[in-house]
Amino acid sequence: MKKTVLAALAAFGLAGPALAQDEVTLQLKWVTQAQFAGYYVALEQGFYEDEGLDVTILPGGPDIAPTQVIAGGGADVIVEWMPAALAAREKGLPLVNIAQPFKSSGMMLTCWKDVGIETPEDLDNRTLGVWFFGNEYPFLSWMSHLGYATDGAAEGSVEVLKQGFNVDPLLQRQADCISTMTYNEFGQVLDAGVSEDELVNFKYEDQGVATLEDGLYVLEENLEDPAFVDKMARFVRASMQGWKWAEENPEEAAMIVLDYDETGAQTEAHQIRMMGEIAKLTSGSDGRLDEADYQRTVDTLLAGGSDPVITAEPEGAFTHEITDMALTQ
């Protein structure tokens, strides 16, 4: 929406003289929403422009895989969950984490309380809704950790329902539990008239199997170019400035996101609530990847029994070079 307006102004010569800036294309993991507020804030508040960057933000969606976009040259940097990034790296796509704005995971399994589920040990022989397209990796690792097969065929197993990007399987009682994010689907369940007292939530963080979400990834070969490294350092610095502004001004950040939502699908109340929850996940991060968080993610993914997400300890899967530059300049 903003870019459409600027393009119209430029066509009439009203946008002012063009300045030479380094172009950066960012591919988001999902649609325009407060999950990505820091980037939209940095764009709107001029933080990218101050760093000499011309940033294009590409929304994601159910048919868009960020790993495929960057592999095809459609983006310089992507927002991706670490399980999907490490799985792609092991399969030959050399992704490298250059920054980690999200310190905590927002992933949960949300269950009906009235079906008798109180602890993870009660999940045996239950139907559990799970997202796929790379989002299933943390769930599968957790089930393996619990000793549950995921074929639903016998005792000691769960039945996996491939969940769409909605909460209908829970509301329609097609599943005992579904995957939710603290900042999105859980709110949708509550908005449908379900009270928190009717639900049991298992946060991946509390279960010790949380994996890192919404990191920034680039192709390893590009890090051999000093100009690209410098550009990414400026991009990360401006992005983190945007994230901290969003944490401190959640309602204003939500309104900025709405302004960039060209679909008109988002609502003010939902985005404000989402931004409040997102701020809890980015809190405490300066963008630098915590190696303990990284190792926890790797260990969780390796503990996949006969079908692990990754089969070997990754090498070269992250770098501090970008954030070190971003934080010292």
What are 77's strand-pairing partners?
26
User: Which residue carries 């990034």 as its tokens?
Assistant: 85
Taking each helix axis as running N to C, give the angle between helix 321-328 and helix 226-248, from 0 to 180 degrees, rounded to the nearest 10.
60
Token pair in block for residue 109: 């399994």
User: How many CB atoms neighbour CB 4 within 10 A?
Assistant: 9
What's at 16, amino acid-wise? G
Task: Decide if 65 contacts 93 (C-beta within 8 A).
Answer: no
Token pair in block for residue 329: 């300049």
The residues, any chain, with a CB within 8 Å of residue 49's CB and separated by 6 or more, are 21
∠ CA 41-47-53, rounded to 5°: 115
What's at 317, amino acid-wise? A
Q: Which of 65, 71, 74 is nearest to 132 (CA)?
A: 65
Residue 134: its pLDDT value, please? 66
Residue 62: its pLDDT value, please? 84
Q: Say whether 10 sits in a helix, a strand or coil.
A: helix
Spans of the chain below 50 pLDDT: 3-18
User: Which residue carries 């989402």 as its tokens?
Assistant: 274
Token pair in block for residue 265: 């699908």
CA 215 to chain CA centroid, nearest Å: 7
- Structural domains present in the chain: 21-104+212-328 (3.40.190.10), 107-207 (3.40.190.10)
State how far the alpha carbon of 6 is from the alpha carbons of 18, 84, 126, in Å: 12, 35, 52
